Amino acid sequence: MTPERFLVAAAAAFAGAGAFGSAVSVRHEIPGEPFGVSIPLSVPTGLLVGWGAGVAAPWPMPVTGLVVALSAGKEKRRGLPGVICQSLGLGCIAGTLIEPVTYRPRSWTPAVAGAIAGNLMASVILVAAGRRARRRYLGSG
């Protein structure tokens, strides 16, 4: 599989994990509380405005990943989509790790556990795909 196709597939998996996490967050009312900071919005409203939720990345992240990955072979700066996707994946890993729900496994339903695992796995794959795409055009490093 070419680095561009791998990047698109990884971005699609990342978007799918985000959509699943959003549905789980709404169903189980898991607000986004990075570092314990909350905002006075319902979970659906928080998702809509781009705040994200306890087990879902803010929607601009997966949308950006898809748009950037789809442009990977067309960019004049061909390594840039890889760098951006790699950064998005790392950001989502960090975002998952700073959510309090991540550290309350006894409160997890199977869906919550799946959303956390899905976010982390899709993010790791996006980082790998971004790194591969970046290295193809910018060399090792």
Contact (CB, 8 A) for 85 and 23: no
* pTM, to two decimals: 0.91
How many independent structural domains does the chain possess? Answer: 1
Q: How many CA atoms lie within 13 A of 125 on its CB side?
A: 20
- Does pLDDT of 74 surpass 80? no
Chain segment 5-18, per-residue pLDDT in tens: 999 999 999 999 99
For residue 3, the model assigns a pLDDT of: 81
For residue 58, the model assigns a pLDDT of: 94
Domain that holds residue 60: 3-138
What confidence tier does 76 reach under pLDDT thresholds 50, 70, 90?
A: low
For 141, the 3-state DSSP assignment is: coil
- Mean pLDDT across the chain, nearest whole number? 92
For residue 136, the model assigns a pLDDT of: 73
In the chain, % of residues over pLDDT 90: 81
> Which alpha helices (H) appear in the chain, and where do they start and end?
3-28, 43-48, 60-70, 80-97, 110-138
